[in-house]
Amino acid sequence: MGIVGAEGAAAGAPFTGVPPVFDDRTRDACLVVPGIMGSVLEDTTGRPLWGVDLAMLTNPLAGQGLLGALHADERERAADADTARRAPLTRIRATTLLAKPWWLPVFEGLDPYSDVHKALTGVVLAPEAVAPFPYDWRLAVSYNGALLARAARAHLTRWRERVAGTSGWAAAGGARPRLVFVAHSMGGLVVRAALEQDPELAADTRTVITVGTPFLGSAKSVLAVNIANAQAKPTWLQRSIQSVSATLPGLHDLLPGYRCLDRGLDVERLTAGDVARFGGDPDLAARSLTERTRYRRDGFALPGHRAIVGEAQPTVQTLDEQRHVGLAVAAGRHHAFDIGDDLELVRDPATGIPARRNTYGDGTVHTPSARIGTEAVTYVYGQHGTLMRHDEVLRQIRRIALERPQGTHLGGGGTGPGLETPHLGGTLGQPLIITATGLDTPVGVTLSVHSATTGRPGHPLTLRRDLDRTGGALSARFTADAPDLYRVVLDTGRHTPVTQLVLVAPPEA
């Protein structure tokens, strides 16, 4: 009996040619959903407002005007899923995914999404199977979720028509294409909103890959709305960032929903009043925190969820409140609190003090927040904003898209290599302290800094123990010779290098 191919089977004739061998590809359609700050924004005239020229973060003459344009107006603050379905907003539009390294105080560096797009195009049947979803990250997660649901359905429909109309692809298997979402940071929350709003789309989704998504929120969002209260430098940039942050629904949707406010003998969840004292908007905070309560109560299982979680990096996990010249200052703390099976705080039996534990994370999202609890998890050593260029993350994304087994846990308890850079950046002429954590010795370890904008190489730095400044951790000093966005690279020779971006601004006039 002859071998029957796809076309031969239809005609009832034996196949007489050479059986085709197909590349290892997925038939599914993929969408790349960036995180906060990860989409280029422009106004109705085409003027770039975000993600194009770093001068907006280093030049007060340019920066104040551009950052001022990013303030959310009344309609944008109120926009929700119904708004997106009825009449999407048009004052500011998202055009593409971030294409160059970027940076923002508190949230720190963010790498572009070109590498993950390239990784996915290498495992699909044709490049058009991969689509980016740029969105106005200033606005509410629910609003952007509705827009994503519409865009994902349109993308899947087009791709299914393309696959059905290509006879050679039909021979590779008859499975109907489905969706694969690859979401970074806040993008995972947008995907969750889209699939919860559209159950049919959820049924057409094979897997959701989240990378550093803060399902429980991030304490850094509070530091962002509080940044001017902390009297950080340069003053014009920090005041501009706080002023904009206080108006953005998207940033408020990152507020931590877990117990994060350390009161000494107790730990409380944030209230809208707390957020207002720290510089945020009480109405936006109330809406976000109410949504967090709903998710805790109802839950929603992402289909085929795979979480990639950064670990071992020094990460702000909780906050305490201090006073400075009459202002409420949120101080970040590198510890969280144990919660028992009864959902109550675990306390020391002798003293009654809540049990504090450093859970580490990716520098922005602490480890428990990046997991829901029902998904498969892969851990990597890496910083939040640079995870989408991380070789191990890209390898996992390719493997998951091809439905291969996942990788293994690389270690736990924060025992791997970590990197800590000044999260507010630096000023030209003043040394930056860069700390390598989780390492016993500098032997075989390389720490280097180079320009992220020009690729101009820098000199390796010398790691030393500094008991006064870093409590005995390995650290080095770096003094930039020009204002620029710099990439810090920590390479142990045993793991994928850990990288972070840090901005060095000119001295304030």
CATH number of the domain at 418-505, please? 2.60.40.10
Amino acid 465 reads R
DSSP 11: H
Identify how many contiguous H helices and E strands the chain contains and give both numbers: 16, 26
Give the sheet arrangement for strand 376-381, strand by strand.
130-132, 29-33, 179-184, 205-211, 305-311, 376-381
To 10 degrees, what angle do helices 60-69 and 235-245 make? 0
Any long-range contacts for 469-475 (C-beta under 8 Å, 24+ apart)? Answer: 469/433, 470/433, 470/435, 473/435, 473/436, 473/437, 474/435, 474/436, 474/437, 474/439, 474/442, 474/445, 475/433, 475/434, 475/435, 475/436
Domain 29-401 has CATH 3.40.50: yes
Which residue matches tokens 């609890």?
373
Give the pLDDT of residue 297: 85
Give the pLDDT of residue 500: 96
Tokens, residue 474: 């390995």
Give the pLDDT of residue 352: 87
Range list of β-strands (E), 375-459: 376-381, 418-420, 426-427, 432-437, 446-451
Give the pLDDT of residue 428: 92
Which residue matches tokens 């409420």?
328
Q: Is the pTM here over 0.95, yes or no?
A: no
Sequence-distant (6+) residues with CB within 8 A of 193 are: 81, 141, 142, 144, 145, 146, 148
Q: Are 321 and 328 in contact (CB under 8 A)?
A: yes
Peptide bond connecting 422 to the previous residue in cis, omega within 30 degrees of 0: no
Q: For residue 265, what are the CA distances in angstroms to 65, 325, 337, 344?
A: 45, 25, 12, 13
DSSP 265: S
Q: Are 173 and 25 in contact (CB under 8 A)?
A: no
Q: Distance between CA atoms of 54 and 77, rounded to whole angstroms?
A: 26
Give the pLDDT of residue 373: 79
Short-list 212, 304, 301, 405, CA closest to 28: 304
pLDDT, one tens digit for every residue, the chain (509 residues): 333 334 444 445 676 777 655 568 899 999 999 999 999 999 999 999 999 999 999 999 889 999 999 999 999 999 999 999 999 999 999 999 999 999 999 999 999 999 999 999 999 999 999 999 999 999 999 999 999 999 999 999 999 999 988 877 765 556 789 999 999 999 999 999 999 999 999 999 999 999 999 999 999 999 999 998 777 778 999 999 999 999 999 999 999 999 999 998 899 999 999 999 999 999 999 999 999 999 888 888 999 999 999 999 999 999 999 988 888 999 999 999 988 888 788 998 888 899 999 999 999 999 999 998 777 899 999 999 999 999 999 999 999 999 755 544 444 455 689 999 999 999 999 999 999 998 888 899 999 999 999 988 887 899 998 766 656 789 999 999 999 999 999 999 888 899 999 999 999 86
Three-state DSSP class for residue 437: strand
Residue ranges of the chain assigned to CATH 3.40.50? 29-401
DSSP 104: E
Tokens, residue 32: 């790349």
Q: Are 126 and 92 in contact (CB under 8 A)?
A: no
Written as one string, the DSSP assignment of 26-65 is: B-SEEEEE--TT-EEEEETT--EEESS-THHHH-HHHHHH
DSSP 366: B
Q: Are 306 and 207 in contact (CB under 8 A)?
A: yes
**Phi, psi of 262, rounded to the nearest 5 degrees:** -80, 115
**Phi, psi of 71, rounded to the nearest 5 degrees:** -55, 135
Residue ranges of the chain assigned to CATH 2.60.40.10? 418-505
